[in-house]
Protein backbone atom coordinates (compact mmCIF):
# COMPACT_ATOMS: atom_id res chain seq x y z
CA UNK A 1 0.00 0.00 0.00
CA UNK A 2 1.45 3.41 -0.93
CA UNK A 3 2.00 6.14 1.61
CA UNK A 4 -0.70 8.72 2.27
CA UNK A 5 0.95 11.34 0.09
CA UNK A 6 1.39 8.94 -2.79
CA UNK A 7 -2.20 7.69 -2.53
CA UNK A 8 -3.59 11.22 -2.38
CA UNK A 9 -1.62 12.14 -5.52
CA UNK A 10 -3.04 9.06 -7.21
CA UNK A 11 -6.60 9.91 -6.18
CA UNK A 12 -6.29 13.50 -7.32
CA UNK A 13 -4.80 12.51 -10.66
CA UNK A 14 -7.65 10.09 -11.32
CA UNK A 15 -10.47 12.37 -10.18
CA UNK A 16 -12.53 12.02 -13.37
CA UNK A 17 -12.11 8.25 -13.32
CA UNK A 18 -13.48 8.18 -9.77
CA UNK A 19 -16.43 10.36 -10.78
CA UNK A 20 -17.29 8.05 -13.67
CA UNK A 21 -16.92 4.99 -11.42
CA UNK A 22 -19.40 6.44 -8.90
CA UNK A 23 -21.80 7.37 -11.69
CA UNK A 24 -21.81 3.84 -13.09
CA UNK A 25 -21.95 2.05 -9.74
CA UNK A 26 -24.19 4.36 -7.69
CA UNK A 27 -26.38 6.08 -10.28
CA UNK A 28 -26.54 3.38 -12.94
CA UNK A 29 -26.52 0.44 -10.53
CA UNK A 30 -23.68 -1.48 -12.18
CA UNK A 31 -21.64 -4.15 -10.40
CA UNK A 32 -18.61 -2.40 -8.90
CA UNK A 33 -16.15 -5.16 -9.79
CA UNK A 34 -17.33 -5.20 -13.39
CA UNK A 35 -17.06 -1.42 -13.58
CA UNK A 36 -13.55 -1.56 -12.20
CA UNK A 37 -12.70 -4.09 -14.87
CA UNK A 38 -14.10 -1.91 -17.66
CA UNK A 39 -12.34 1.18 -16.30
CA UNK A 40 -9.04 -0.70 -16.28
CA UNK A 41 -9.52 -1.64 -19.92
CA UNK A 42 -10.29 1.96 -20.86
CA UNK A 43 -7.23 3.24 -19.01
CA UNK A 44 -5.14 0.69 -20.88
CA UNK A 45 -6.52 1.97 -24.19
CA UNK A 46 -5.56 5.51 -23.17
CA UNK A 47 -1.98 4.29 -22.76
CA UNK A 48 -1.80 3.15 -26.37
CA UNK A 49 -2.91 6.43 -27.82
CA UNK A 50 -6.67 6.72 -27.37
CA UNK A 51 -6.32 9.79 -25.21
CA UNK A 52 -9.12 11.44 -23.23
CA UNK A 53 -11.15 8.23 -23.48
CA UNK A 54 -12.53 8.45 -19.93
CA UNK A 55 -13.52 12.09 -20.44
CA UNK A 56 -15.29 11.28 -23.71
CA UNK A 57 -17.16 8.30 -22.23
CA UNK A 58 -18.24 10.40 -19.24
CA UNK A 59 -19.72 13.01 -21.61
CA UNK A 60 -22.30 10.54 -22.97
CA UNK A 61 -25.72 9.69 -21.57
CA UNK A 62 -26.25 6.66 -19.34
CA UNK A 63 -27.61 4.42 -22.11
CA UNK A 64 -24.54 4.98 -24.28
CA UNK A 65 -22.19 4.43 -21.35
CA UNK A 66 -24.05 1.21 -20.60
CA UNK A 67 -23.42 0.02 -24.18
CA UNK A 68 -19.69 0.87 -23.93
CA UNK A 69 -19.55 -0.92 -20.59
CA UNK A 70 -21.04 -4.17 -21.97
CA UNK A 71 -18.67 -4.03 -24.95
CA UNK A 72 -15.71 -3.58 -22.62
CA UNK A 73 -16.64 -6.76 -20.75
CA UNK A 74 -16.79 -8.61 -24.05
CA UNK A 75 -13.42 -7.22 -25.17
CA UNK A 76 -11.82 -8.53 -21.98
CA UNK A 77 -12.54 -12.07 -23.09
CA UNK A 78 -10.10 -11.69 -25.96
CA UNK A 79 -7.06 -10.49 -24.01
CA UNK A 80 -6.83 -13.50 -21.72
CA UNK A 81 -3.76 -15.65 -22.46
CA UNK A 82 -5.70 -18.66 -23.73
CA UNK A 83 -8.38 -16.76 -25.64
CA UNK A 84 -9.72 -18.33 -28.81
CA UNK A 85 -9.28 -16.50 -32.10
CA UNK A 86 -12.44 -14.60 -33.09
CA UNK A 87 -13.75 -16.16 -36.29
CA UNK A 88 -17.48 -15.53 -36.18
CA UNK A 89 -18.76 -12.72 -38.42
CA UNK A 90 -19.99 -10.84 -35.35
CA UNK A 91 -16.37 -10.33 -34.30
CA UNK A 92 -15.92 -8.11 -37.35
CA UNK A 93 -18.54 -5.70 -36.00
CA UNK A 94 -16.89 -2.46 -34.82
CA UNK A 95 -16.90 -1.82 -31.07
CA UNK A 96 -16.95 1.48 -29.16
CA UNK A 97 -18.59 3.29 -32.09
CA UNK A 98 -18.35 7.05 -31.64
CA UNK A 99 -15.20 6.86 -29.53
CA UNK A 100 -12.65 6.32 -32.31
CA UNK A 101 -12.22 7.49 -35.88
CA UNK A 102 -10.57 4.25 -36.94
CA UNK A 103 -11.65 0.60 -37.13
CA UNK A 104 -11.70 -1.37 -33.87
CA UNK A 105 -13.23 -4.78 -33.26
CA UNK A 106 -12.65 -7.85 -31.09
CA UNK A 107 -9.81 -8.92 -33.38
CA UNK A 108 -7.86 -5.82 -32.28
CA UNK A 109 -7.89 -7.05 -28.69
CA UNK A 110 -7.09 -10.63 -29.62
CA UNK A 111 -4.14 -9.63 -31.81
CA UNK A 112 -2.63 -7.46 -29.05
CA UNK A 113 -3.72 -9.73 -26.18
CA UNK A 114 -0.26 -10.48 -24.75
CA UNK A 115 0.68 -6.83 -24.37
CA UNK A 116 -2.81 -5.78 -23.30
CA UNK A 117 -3.11 -8.47 -20.64
CA UNK A 118 0.16 -7.43 -18.99
CA UNK A 119 -0.87 -3.79 -18.94
CA UNK A 120 -4.37 -4.69 -17.74
CA UNK A 121 -3.04 -6.57 -14.71
CA UNK A 122 -0.52 -3.82 -13.99
CA UNK A 123 -3.09 -1.01 -14.13
CA UNK A 124 -5.50 -3.01 -12.00
CA UNK A 125 -2.86 -3.63 -9.33
CA UNK A 126 -1.26 -0.18 -9.25
CA UNK A 127 -4.22 2.11 -9.97
CA UNK A 128 -7.74 0.69 -9.97
CA UNK A 129 -7.43 -1.49 -6.86
CA UNK A 130 -6.30 1.64 -5.00
CA UNK A 131 -8.72 4.31 -6.25
CA UNK A 132 -11.94 2.25 -6.38
CA UNK A 133 -13.64 0.79 -3.30
CA UNK A 134 -16.26 -1.92 -2.99
CA UNK A 135 -19.27 0.38 -3.30
CA UNK A 136 -17.80 3.73 -4.34
CA UNK A 137 -14.55 5.36 -5.38
CA UNK A 138 -12.08 6.31 -2.67
CA UNK A 139 -12.53 9.99 -1.81
CA UNK A 140 -10.09 12.64 -0.64
CA UNK A 141 -10.69 14.68 2.50
CA UNK A 142 -9.54 18.05 1.18
CA UNK A 143 -9.28 19.53 4.65
CA UNK A 144 -6.50 17.14 5.54
CA UNK A 145 -5.68 15.73 2.11
CA UNK A 146 -6.14 12.16 3.25
CA UNK A 147 -8.13 9.30 1.76
CA UNK A 148 -11.63 9.61 3.23
CA UNK A 149 -12.97 6.14 2.45
CA UNK A 150 -11.84 2.57 3.03
CA UNK A 151 -9.95 1.08 0.08
CA UNK A 152 -10.89 -2.28 -1.37
CA UNK A 153 -11.28 -4.70 1.54
CA UNK A 154 -8.81 -7.39 2.49
CA UNK A 155 -9.29 -10.57 0.58
CA UNK A 156 -10.48 -8.80 -2.57
CA UNK A 157 -8.24 -9.64 -5.49
CA UNK A 158 -7.83 -8.81 -9.10
CA UNK A 159 -9.47 -12.14 -9.89
CA UNK A 160 -12.79 -10.56 -8.92
CA UNK A 161 -12.67 -7.89 -11.61
CA UNK A 162 -15.03 -9.48 -14.08
CA UNK A 163 -17.80 -10.99 -12.01
CA UNK A 164 -21.01 -12.14 -13.69
CA UNK A 165 -22.75 -10.14 -16.37
CA UNK A 166 -25.61 -10.52 -18.77
CA UNK A 167 -23.05 -11.21 -21.48
CA UNK A 168 -21.40 -13.98 -19.44
CA UNK A 169 -17.75 -12.91 -19.90
CA UNK A 170 -15.30 -15.77 -19.55
CA UNK A 171 -14.33 -16.79 -16.04
CA UNK A 172 -10.97 -18.00 -17.33
CA UNK A 173 -9.56 -14.47 -17.12
CA UNK A 174 -10.48 -14.36 -13.44
CA UNK A 175 -8.86 -17.69 -12.75
CA UNK A 176 -5.70 -16.79 -14.63
CA UNK A 177 -5.31 -13.45 -12.87
CA UNK A 178 -5.81 -15.11 -9.48
CA UNK A 179 -3.24 -17.84 -10.18
CA UNK A 180 -0.80 -15.26 -11.55
CA UNK A 181 -1.08 -13.09 -8.46
CA UNK A 182 -0.54 -16.06 -6.17
CA UNK A 183 2.16 -18.03 -7.94
CA UNK A 184 4.03 -15.79 -10.37
CA UNK A 185 4.03 -12.25 -9.06
CA UNK A 186 6.41 -11.28 -6.29
CA UNK A 187 4.65 -8.70 -4.08
CA UNK A 188 8.04 -7.32 -3.04
CA UNK A 189 9.28 -6.85 -6.58
CA UNK A 190 9.82 -3.46 -8.20
CA UNK A 191 6.92 -1.98 -10.15
CA UNK A 192 6.58 -3.59 -13.57
CA UNK A 193 7.17 -1.03 -16.33
CA UNK A 194 7.19 -2.39 -19.87
CA UNK A 195 8.36 1.04 -21.05
CA UNK A 196 11.80 0.10 -19.74
CA UNK A 197 11.98 -2.68 -22.36
CA UNK A 198 13.77 -1.14 -25.37
CA UNK A 199 11.45 -2.66 -27.96
CA UNK A 200 8.35 -1.28 -26.23
CA UNK A 201 9.69 2.25 -26.54
CA UNK A 202 10.30 1.70 -30.26
CA UNK A 203 6.98 0.08 -31.18
CA UNK A 204 3.87 1.57 -32.76
CA UNK A 205 0.48 -0.11 -33.08
CA UNK A 206 -0.93 0.08 -36.60
CA UNK A 207 -4.46 -0.34 -37.99
CA UNK A 208 -5.74 -0.67 -41.55
CA UNK A 209 -9.17 0.05 -42.99
CA UNK A 210 -11.33 -3.04 -43.31
CA UNK A 211 -10.92 -4.53 -46.75
CA UNK A 212 -7.83 -2.43 -47.51
CA UNK A 213 -4.87 -4.15 -45.81
CA UNK A 214 -1.27 -3.14 -46.34
CA UNK A 215 1.52 -5.62 -46.90
CA UNK A 216 4.67 -5.78 -44.82
CA UNK A 217 6.67 -4.57 -47.84
CA UNK A 218 4.38 -1.58 -48.42
CA UNK A 219 4.79 -0.45 -44.82
CA UNK A 220 8.56 -0.91 -44.92
CA UNK A 221 8.82 1.10 -48.12
CA UNK A 222 6.58 3.91 -46.88
CA UNK A 223 8.49 4.53 -43.66
CA UNK A 224 11.97 4.12 -45.14
CA UNK A 225 11.07 6.44 -48.03
CA UNK A 226 10.00 9.16 -45.60
CA UNK A 227 12.39 8.72 -42.65
CA UNK A 228 15.29 6.62 -43.89
CA UNK A 229 16.47 3.21 -42.67
CA UNK A 230 14.53 3.38 -39.41
CA UNK A 231 12.43 0.20 -39.52
CA UNK A 232 13.65 -2.89 -37.69
CA UNK A 233 10.57 -5.05 -38.21
CA UNK A 234 6.94 -5.02 -39.26
CA UNK A 235 4.55 -7.64 -37.87
CA UNK A 236 1.16 -8.13 -39.52
CA UNK A 237 -1.84 -9.97 -38.10
CA UNK A 238 -2.06 -13.60 -39.21
CA UNK A 239 -5.69 -14.41 -39.96
CA UNK A 240 -7.00 -17.95 -39.59
CA UNK A 241 -10.48 -17.52 -41.02
CA UNK A 242 -10.82 -18.06 -44.81
CA UNK A 243 -11.28 -14.78 -46.64
CA UNK A 244 -10.36 -12.73 -43.57
CA UNK A 245 -7.82 -10.03 -44.33
CA UNK A 246 -5.33 -8.57 -41.82
CA UNK A 247 -6.41 -5.38 -40.13
CA UNK A 248 -3.82 -4.82 -37.39
CA UNK A 249 -0.07 -4.92 -36.90
CA UNK A 250 2.95 -3.45 -35.17
CA UNK A 251 6.02 -1.66 -36.45
CA UNK A 252 9.32 -1.72 -34.53
CA UNK A 253 11.81 1.07 -35.25
CA UNK A 254 15.57 0.94 -34.85
CA UNK A 255 15.40 3.85 -32.40
CA UNK A 256 12.68 5.54 -30.38
CA UNK A 257 13.89 8.91 -31.66
CA UNK A 258 12.04 8.42 -34.94
CA UNK A 259 8.61 8.18 -33.27
CA UNK A 260 8.26 11.93 -32.46
CA UNK A 261 9.03 12.63 -36.11
CA UNK A 262 6.36 10.18 -37.23
CA UNK A 263 3.76 11.57 -34.82
CA UNK A 264 4.69 15.21 -35.55
CA UNK A 265 3.38 16.43 -32.20
CA UNK A 266 0.14 14.42 -32.32
CA UNK A 267 -1.04 11.53 -30.14
CA UNK A 268 -1.50 9.38 -33.23
CA UNK A 269 -0.72 9.54 -36.93
CA UNK A 270 -2.88 8.79 -39.95
CA UNK A 271 -1.29 8.17 -43.33
CA UNK A 272 -2.44 7.38 -46.84
CA UNK A 273 -0.21 4.60 -48.15
CA UNK A 274 -0.85 3.52 -51.74
CA UNK A 275 -4.36 4.98 -51.42
CA UNK A 276 -5.04 2.95 -48.28
CA UNK A 277 -5.38 4.34 -44.75
CA UNK A 278 -2.94 3.48 -41.96
CA UNK A 279 -3.30 4.60 -38.33
CA UNK A 280 -0.32 4.47 -35.95
CA UNK A 281 -0.20 4.81 -32.13
CA UNK A 282 2.57 4.65 -29.57
CA UNK A 283 2.28 3.15 -26.10
CA UNK A 284 2.82 5.76 -23.36
CA UNK A 285 2.49 4.55 -19.72
CA UNK A 286 0.31 6.94 -17.77
CA UNK A 287 2.58 6.86 -14.71
CA UNK A 288 4.75 9.40 -16.53
CA UNK A 289 1.87 11.84 -16.26
CA UNK A 290 1.52 11.14 -12.55
CA UNK A 291 5.20 11.84 -12.00
CA UNK A 292 4.88 15.11 -13.89
CA UNK A 293 1.85 16.05 -11.79
CA UNK A 294 3.64 15.19 -8.55
CA UNK A 295 6.68 17.25 -9.52
CA UNK A 296 4.47 20.36 -9.70
CA UNK A 297 3.19 19.99 -6.16
CA UNK A 298 4.68 22.30 -3.56
Question: What digits encode the pLDDT tens for the residues 208-219?
Answer: 887 788 999 999
Question: What is the average pLDDT across 186-197?
Answer: 41
Q: Does pLDDT of 129 surpass 50?
A: yes
Q: Which has the higher per-residue pLDDT, 193 or 59?
A: 59
Q: Is residue 13 a contact partner of residue 140, using CB atoms and an 8 Å limit?
A: no
Q: What does the pLDDT read at residue 143?
A: 61
Q: Does pLDDT of 272 surpass 50?
A: yes
Q: Which has the higher per-residue pLDDT, 143 or 54?
A: 54
Q: Which H helix or E strand runs over 46?
A: helix 32-47
Q: What does the pLDDT read at residue 169?
A: 38
Beta bridge partners, 206, equal 249, 280
Q: Angle at the Cα of 182 (from 179 to 187), degrees rounded to 5? A: 140
Q: Does pLDDT of 278 surpass 70?
A: yes
Q: How far apart are the first and last CA of the chain?
A: 23
Q: What does the pLDDT read at residue 150?
A: 45
| pLDDT, the chain, mean | 77
Q: Does pLDDT of 188 surpass 60?
A: no
Q: Which has the higher per-residue pLDDT, 49 or 166?
A: 49
Q: Pick from 115-129, 135-149, 230-244, 265-279 the range whose average pLDDT is largest.
A: 115-129
Q: Percent of the chain, pLDDT > 70?
A: 72
Q: Between the CA of residue 289 and those of 9, 121, 192, 294, what are the distances in Å?
A: 11, 19, 16, 9
199-282 topology per CATH:
Alpha-Beta Plaits (3.30.70)
Q: What does the pLDDT read at residue 220?
A: 93
Question: What digits encode the pLDDT tens for the residues 226-256?
Answer: 999 999 999 998 876 667 788 889 999 998 8
pLDDT confidence tier of residue 165, bands split at 50, 70 and 90: very low
pLDDT confidence tier of residue 179, bands split at 50, 70 and 90: very low
Q: Does pLDDT of 178 surpass 80?
A: no
In a 13 Å sphere around the CA of 28, the CA atoms on its Cβ side amount to: 22
Q: What does the pLDDT read at residue 69?
A: 97
Residues near 34 by beta carbon (within 8 Å), at least 6 away in sequence: 69, 73, 161, 162, 163, 165
Q: Which has the higher per-residue pLDDT, 70 or 111?
A: 70
Q: Is residue 107 a contact partner of residue 237, using CB atoms and an 8 Å limit?
A: yes
Which stretch of 54-58, 115-119, 210-214, 286-290 has the lowest confidence by average pLDDT? 286-290
Q: Which has the higher per-residue pLDDT, 159 or 70?
A: 70
Q: What is the dihedral of CA 52, 150, 71, 283, to 10 degrees?
A: 40
Beta bridge partners, 100, equal 97
Domain boundaries defined on the chain: 4-132, 199-282
Residue 291, SS3?
Answer: helix
Q: What does the pLDDT read at residue 166?
A: 34
Which stretch of 24-38, 178-192, 233-247 has the lowest confidence by average pLDDT? 178-192
Q: Percent of the chain, pLDDT > 90?
A: 40
Amino acid sequence: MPGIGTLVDLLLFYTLERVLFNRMVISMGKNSQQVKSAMTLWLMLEEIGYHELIRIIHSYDDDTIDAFFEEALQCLQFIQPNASSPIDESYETPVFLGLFDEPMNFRFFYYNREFMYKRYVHIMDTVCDKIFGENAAIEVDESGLKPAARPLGEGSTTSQVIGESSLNPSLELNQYIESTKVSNLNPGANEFRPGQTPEDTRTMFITFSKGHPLSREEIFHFFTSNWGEVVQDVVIEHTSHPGQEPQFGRIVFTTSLVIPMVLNGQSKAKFLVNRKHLWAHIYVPRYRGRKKLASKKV
